[in-house]
Structure 1
């Protein structure tokens, strides 16, 4: 690989998006989309025979994504083999911001390579880990807004396998290309090749763009599940789901009614070998409670909290005993004052360079002077660090099941006692520790 060195001047960074439930999912013609729990493949035929459109059959037919009138739930549930039918919900990317601007002074790293600005890879020893593995012969699906198909650092994107699952697609012509920016940044964190500017955790992996967002509006949960099911269908070693839902969804909420179908699809994907990495969410809150959170309440998901350059929990990251599986760099410090340089240590990385640098759509304006790159922060940036590490593990142990991959990552983690730390789970990932352990047969 060619880690070509480039330079750029800093700009203003934003906080990465988390997902918020915003309404009921509808098709372009106004009909309602439903998530349907079923008892196998034959049920889809019965639902279709009853006059409903079956958009997706997931988890071997145990979950259906169905379109019908707004009052069709009871009629769908009356069909033989149907367990339940609930209106699908939409998730929109909500973007809280740090209320500050970058200093005008030239950063100390000006003139250095872009890889020198990737503190997230340095603190997790990713560059050293590449002596052992780079993700060769692996595949990671990015369930998100799509991926910039023309980015110079994303030449490992498989456009042919890319898909768009969008119930009301306002930009069908772009296919799996990025309808925003989020997916491109996530993809670079997983597997940027270093051809031009930045290096991902697994630079030799194959990236699969799975777009579930339109250009304007929210992603239907049924389409997100279709993307995860597709990732398992094509044999993805990992599927990254950087769409953590803030807060606990109480019993009776619209999202909680979909819990069984979400669990079924996630568990099906994991049984087929795909590790599902999910972001814990950016609400600065505890995930403990009697309700349902995503991805945290789904045992099949590998939930990731966000850490700072100082290996502390980032101020925005959700937390919770038994809800966080692992932690990884997401950017910013444990408080806003330290993030902005108002408090902290002499060697702290200045704002906004203490966010995560990754790829950015080349047709969008960036807050840095070099097009195609930007700094943003969030648990959305933490989860793909783990997805990339899963690819390194799979390169070294191609026959390992999803549970074995997760265990290898947890055993290689640092800064936690046991696996139930409320902030870090099993600890903060360390790529070098993980691959060295595997190389030594541990």
Structure 2
């Protein structure tokens, strides 16, 4: 299957709310009293409450009266906070439940085509990410998962939402747990799964609330926090698209660029999912995808096989572009395994989900017998998306940093780009510098 001939330019529809287009990942402005503020360095006015201070930048997140901000001589600019939603490929809603008995107790890496194709085991002969730190800015990481308990730094992990929970997932999905596993799962040689950098120090920055949305302001605060706790890499498997460059879209882009530039200066490489809209980000008019088109972003497109372990005759290689991935020569830095699927195979009984990325997840079970799910039970499962491709790169970046501790963020990115090549027969627009090559980057 040749994916690069099947693209349609995305058609943007919907009204504009506060300068933000209603698309697949952007909803509307949040409550009218929560704002992202750019100050003039003279502090914030009285009458507002600070939610996030964001030290090191001239930004803050506050709640209060808009009129107070508008009349303050210390405020340079401000705009209402907005809420983002996770945008996953349609295949994720159809993924079957994993039953380990189907695989007769074989280790989970039996299903990890992504790690095999990236030669992660060979890279681990050099380093497993020792001495590095990776922040996962997402929906929370389940600290009781046996493959994540070792890498996860609970002390530094934070909840950036206002839902009252801790860093663990609260009433939400297992997206962040899956992402974290791709980065750093450590099965210790048992019946589990492997991450790319299992010896990194993993910091969970939860920005998705129990209701399922993520505040743009909370994401900015988590990026600054990641830099301030000396994370070498921050993974953001999230985004907003389409956002118009004009109107308030320019403010959000400006404060994002300021935040991302600060993180980069402090040594934190920002690895960001390119998005799952099948969109040509290079030729989409006066629109932008955030944060992957922000300053200093390492934007990752997704690849994946078709027929892995179930249809060798029609199999496409792991480096072929996934049907859902965003693309665009100047909008993509690298391509990496994120999973693909033959949509016609869904529901036919063949193991099409093998083409997705297999790693750590959890499920909710009713353990007290009241008929309501109340306990998060660790497990394993499949997902696809640029959300899965980005953490493969984030883990690789941790390995490069571990092998080259004097590298700054730009040098780590440069090593990854130099080692990558565009696969023969495929279009550069899906890869930027090329397909992730960890071993040659070390």
- Structure 1 length as normaliser, TM-score? 0.81
Q: 2:323 aligns with which of 312, 315, 330?
A: 315
The C-alpha deviation readout for 1:147-172, integer Å capped at 9, x for no partner, is 10101001221111111111x41xx2
Change in CA separation of 1:244 and 1:101 when aligned onto 2, cut-off 3 Å: closer
Change in CA separation of 1:111 and 1:341 when aligned onto 2, cut-off 3 Å: farther
Quick check: 2:36–2:61 contact (8 Å CA) kept in 1? yes
Q: Which residue of 1 aligns with 2:7?
A: none
Give distance in 2, aligned partners of 1:125 and 1:341: 32
5 Å-filtered alignment, 1:189-204, equals 189-195=182-188, 196=190, 197-204=192-199
Give distance in 1, aligned partners of 2:180 and 2:24: 18
Q: 1:386 aligns with which of 387, 393, 402?
A: 393
The C-alpha deviation readout for 1:58-102, integer Å capped at 9, x for no partner, is 252411111113xx1x54143224221100101122444238676
Q: Which residue of 2 aligns with 1:153?
A: 147
The C-alpha deviation readout for 1:267-293, integer Å capped at 9, x for no partner, is 101100001111011111111232221
Residue 178 of structure 1 deviates from its aligned partner by 1.7
Residue 218 of structure 1 deviates from its aligned partner by 1.2
Give distance in 1, aligned partners of 2:100 and 2:127: 35
5 Å-filtered alignment, 1:225-236, equals 225-236=220-231
Residue 385 of structure 1 deviates from its aligned partner by 0.6
5 Å-filtered alignment, 1:76-225, equals 76-98=69-91, 111-155=105-149, 156-166=151-161, 168-169=162-163, 172=164, 174-179=165-170, 180=172, 181-195=174-188, 196=190, 197-225=192-220
- Structure 2 length as normaliser, TM-score? 0.81
Change in CA separation of 1:52 and 1:187 when aligned onto 2, cut-off 3 Å: same
Unmatched runs of 5 consecutive residues or more in structure 1:
1-17, 343-348, 436-442
Q: Which residue of 2 aligns with 1:67?
A: 63
Q: CA RMSD in A?
A: 2.8
Q: Which residue of 2 aligns with 1:11?
A: none
Q: Secondary structure at the match of 2:25?
A: strand
Quick check: 2:167–2:206 contact (8 Å CA) kept in 1? yes
Residue 422 of structure 1 deviates from its aligned partner by 1.3
The C-alpha deviation readout for 1:182-229, integer Å capped at 9, x for no partner, is 110000000001134001000101111111111114111100111111
Quick check: 1:109–1:117 contact (8 Å CA) kept in 2? no
Q: Which residue of 2 aligns with 1:428?
A: 435
Q: Secondary structure at the match of 2:353?
A: coil
The C-alpha deviation readout for 1:123-180, integer Å capped at 9, x for no partner, is 11111110001001111111011110101001221111111111x41xx2x4011233
5 Å-filtered alignment, 1:267-278, equals 267-278=261-272
Q: Which residue of 2 aligns with 1:21?
A: 26
Give distance in 2, aligned partners of 1:103 and 1:32: 42
Give distance in 2, aligned partners of 1:263 and 1:108: 47
Q: Which residue of 1 aligns with 2:413?
A: 406
Quick check: 2:89–2:385 contact (8 Å CA) kept in 1? no
Query: Is 1:302 equivalent to 2:298 in the alignment?
Result: yes
Change in CA separation of 1:414 and 1:182 when aligned onto 2, cut-off 3 Å: same
Answer with 372-381 or 252-261: which moved more: 252-261
Give distance in 2, aligned partners of 1:149 and 1:21: 29
Answer with 314-323 or 213-222: which moved more: 213-222
Query: Is 1:331 equivalent to 2:325 in the alignment?
Result: no
Q: Secondary structure at the match of 2:182?
A: helix
Q: Which residue of 2 aligns with 1:5?
A: none
How many residues are aligned here? 388
Residue 297 of structure 1 deviates from its aligned partner by 2.1
Change in CA separation of 1:52 and 1:119 when aligned onto 2, cut-off 3 Å: same
Quick check: 1:115–1:199 contact (8 Å CA) kept in 2? yes
Unmatched runs of 5 consecutive residues or more in structure 2:
1-22, 306-316, 367-376
